[in-house]
Amino acid sequence: MSNVGIIGLGHYLPERRLTNFDLEKMVDTSNEWIISRTGIRERRIAEITERNSDLAIKAAREALKNAKLDPHKVELIIVATISPDTSFPSVSCLVQKAIHARHAAAFDIGAACSGYLYGITTAKQLIQNGLFKNALVIASEKISTYMDWTDRNTCVLFGDGAGACVLSKVRGNRGIISDYLHAEGHFGGLMAIISKERKALDQKTTTMDLPRITMQGKELFKAAVNSMAKAALIAIKKAKLKLSDIDCLVPHQANDRIISAVARKLGLPKDKIFVNIDQYGNMSSASIAVALYEAVEQGKIKRGSNVVLVTFGAGLVSAANVVKW
């Protein structure tokens, strides 16, 4: 049976850069604190008029071009996102319309920072089962929508962006060779999007704060390190590989100290781990999509490389894939 593999990648990053120095003027923080505690130097922020689907469409077009796949031939579109334009139409349907993928099925996946790998694994199975010949999987986030720009605990951490890939059957031993999906809903309170209570219809005024992100950073930090190390090890074992066989590990980019701790726990040298958090911050599901794109672009992943993709995020939800490139 032939494997399902990634045949094209795309990405899009909004032009506007928000640096740590810009944030120093907005909240009680400093460039030194942000770099030493997170590794982030700047992040991209979409314009108010730029919607999540605008980012997704640009990433999708590049992935299709790189895969040399005509949009009319796309059979499935999955968008991983926690920051869609609206609840419906789904971002995947907005992408379908924009790229004229008339023959595609389309749906969104909500698995926070793990959404891209949840999407890739779902699409892989649907192709393997014979339901579809190919799939366009996109991770797109306009997470700035949920930012409370007066809360220094969260507003320094996140950024907007999108990444995409095209999956189809591939020849030889390359392709996605193992999958691991996991969730721990009982820890869901550690990171959530909350709004204050809405007043009932029979009351005189209706007040509702805008939805915004809250998180318990220290607890999440520990959970992130343990979950990502565990997910990576399980996926590597399922792929019947050893840690020493791994050429590149691409992790979710939430904090450079989390990534270093995962590297130490696994005993992997840091030069085998791809990091770009300094430029983009945490883009939720889009972080690993953009990191994978850049790791390939920079030659850190080449034909034949054994690659581990591993993520962790709100839910709590973790995931990993081993890919033979």
Return the residues of window 54-93 that contact ligand UT7 according to CB under 6 A: none
113 is catalytic: yes
Question: Of 20, 93, 113, 248, which one is the catalytic site residue?
Answer: 113
Confirm or reject binding of residue 275 to ligand UT7 (CB under 6 A).
no
Nearer to ligand UT7, 5 or 161 (CB): 161
Confirm or reject binding of residue 277 to ligand UT7 (CB under 6 A).
no
11 is catalytic: no
Confirm or reject binding of residue 156 to ligand UT7 (CB under 6 A).
yes
Confirm or reject binding of residue 38 to ligand UT7 (CB under 6 A).
yes
Which one, of 166, 165, 143, lies nearest residue 50 by Cα?
A: 143
Confirm or reject binding of residue 101 to ligand UT7 (CB under 6 A).
no
Confirm or reject binding of residue 255 to ligand UT7 (CB under 6 A).
yes
**HSE-up (13 A, CA, CB side) for residue 164:** 31
Per the CB < 8 A criterion, the answer to whether 325 and 295 are in contact is no
AA letter at 45: I
| Cα first-last separation, the chain | 17
Which residue stretch of 29-37, 63-71, 205-213, 293-301 sits at the interface with ligand UT7 (rule: CB under 6 A)? 29-37
182 is catalytic: no
The residue count for binding ligand UT7 (CB under 6 A) is 21
Nearer to ligand UT7, 42 or 75 (CB): 42
Give min distance, CB of 213 to ligand UT7, in A.
Answer: 10
Question: Of 252, 255, 306, 321, which one is the catalytic site residue?
Answer: 252
The pair of structure tokens assigned to 89 is 């139409």
Which one, of 194, 179, 189, 250, lies nearest residue 223 by Cα?
A: 189
**HSE-up (13 A, CA, CB side) for residue 219:** 10
Confirm or reject binding of residue 254 to ligand UT7 (CB under 6 A).
yes
Give 151: exposed, middle or buried? Use CB within 10 Å, 0-12, 13-18, 19+.
Answer: middle
- What binding mask, one character per residue, do residues 109-148 give for ligand UT7 by CB under 6 A, x or -? ----x-----------------------------------
Helix 91-99 and helix 52-67: axis angle, to 10°?
A: 50
| Residue 40, CA distances (Å) to 124, 151, 245, 265, 278 in order | 33, 17, 30, 22, 4
User: Any idea which residues carry the catalytic annotation?
Assistant: 113, 252, 282
Contact residues: ligand UT7, CB under 6 A: 29, 33-34, 37-38, 113, 152-153, 156, 191, 217-218, 220-221, 224, 254-255, 258, 282, 312-313
